[in-house]
Structure 1
Amino acid sequence: MDYFLEIEAHFAARRGTPFILSAKDWALMRKWHEEEIPLPIVIEAIDSVFEKNETSGRRKVISSLSYCRHAVKELWDARRDLYVGGSEVTPEVSPESRLDALAQRIPEPFASRVRDLARERSVPRIEQSLMEIEREMIDALITDDLRRDIASTLGDTSKLDPKIRARTEEANLRRLVRERFDLPRLTLFG
């Protein structure tokens, strides 16, 4: 479920508003998940769509993940070889400097764990470990005050389906933790 929450939170953050994804958006995320498209690829593609929109001068409203589907496909097609193949795949350049840069921006004990990944030779395993560390770090930083801030920001959500409300609150909570603590996305490709 973290895969979906992270995409939802990131999309809402890029839109700049709390946002509930449509059934069509959820179907698209499920498709990406079933195709085993890594989360960092999806996040980077979403960023590229918003960045192109922000610099184009037209500034159209991006109201659905569907606007990002082509960018996700193109980026996945370009990077698939780095992920597929498991332990045989090694990065073209040592990931050590990127891991060190990430570690400098996050608190201990998570920073040490990120630095330790430099010994790993598999990009997919490094990326998977980075996702796990990121999830644990965000979970460790969540406080009751942050939960109250999110409840206040979202307003009355009592009419939402309980599952949708919980998902929306969780996605926005993760986004808020990232913003408050200025946390980078933990990925080799950011």
Structure 2
Amino acid sequence: MNYFSYFSEIEDTFIRRRGKHLMLSPIDWALIESWKERGVPLHVALRGIEHAFDSHDAKKQKRTVKTLLYCQEEVEAQYAEWLESRVGSHDVDARPEDDDRAPFPRAAVLRHLEQSLADITKLAHEQEAKQDELSEALDRASALLSEIRNDYESAAQPDSRKLEESLTGIERMLDDAMRLVINEHDLGMMTAEIESQLKPYKRHMDKKAFAQTRDHLLRKRVRESFGVPRLSLFFI
């Protein structure tokens, strides 16, 4: 991950979650530079931004997010917890391979991350010639997964919940990229097929539940059409 990628990844994630293109201000760029200089890992900064927007979206009454400063507190909190997880990271005895308190064994998580990285990297190479939004997103996902995998392996106290949040952020980025490049006719056919499958259950579901179920199945179908694997730990 080079110097400029750190800035562009944070900018792209902020713009994607905000939903509207907004040029970052000089103060925003200075904030990113301060994170970079202090050694805030990219995946930690991105997780903080994703978490800040998730909290914002959950509010009933919310103001428009106009600056990256909105995410600063959450990024700082995520970084502080990351630093705490590194305590004892160089002590082999302090890092048992399987922690009974963790929801997923460390060895199983590492195998999952390694396989996910291999699958995404392979797919990135296959899509490279297209030079579209998906090929770019796959390259970014590959770089982020490599950083996340190395970070998890060396952590004294790996946090599966935070890892899952980081993986969810990458999946969200890939989902958005696939929706940008998929053929509209194919997308329409998939949507119609899914709605037909759900039709017998529609009257028993409220509108919100129906829409969420339809969108979930549609994302699944789109992923399958592009051969993009699930990254979530629940697919170990």
The bucket for the TM-score relative to the shorter chain is: 0.5 to 0.7
More helix by share: 2
Indicate whether 1:23 and 2:26 are aligned: yes
- Cα offset for 1:80? 1.2
Q: AA paired with 2:54?
A: E
Q: Who is 2:201 aligned against?
A: none
Q: Matched residues in 1 for 2:56 and 2:123: separation?
A: 37
* CA RMSD, Structure 1 to Structure 2 (Å): 4.3
Matching of residues 2-17 of structure 1 within 5 Å: 2-17=5-20
Q: AA paired with 1:122?
A: S
Q: Who is 1:40 aligned against?
A: 43
Q: Who is 1:166 aligned against?
A: none
Q: Who is 1:169 aligned against?
A: none
Decide which structure has the larger Cα Rg and report it: 2
Relative contact order, higher structure (CA 8 A, sep 6+): 1
Q: Tell me which of 59, 66, 73 is aligned to 1:56.
A: 59
Q: Matched residues in 1 for 2:86 and 2:36: separation?
A: 14
Q: Who is 1:122 aligned against?
A: 154
Q: AA paired with 2:113?
A: L
Query: What percentage of residue pairs aligned between the two structures are identical?
Result: 27
Number of corresponding residues = 133
Q: AA paired with 1:47?
A: E
Q: Who is 1:108 aligned against?
A: 122
Identify unmatched segments of 5+ residues in structure 1.
Answer: 124-133, 139-145, 147-180
- Cα offset for 1:60? 1.6
TM-score, normalising length: structure 1: 0.54
- Cα offset for 1:85? 7.0
- Cα offset for 1:98? 4.0
Q: AA paired with 1:99?
A: L
- Cα offset for 1:96? 1.8
Q: Matched residues in 1 for 2:227 and 2:66: separation?
A: 25
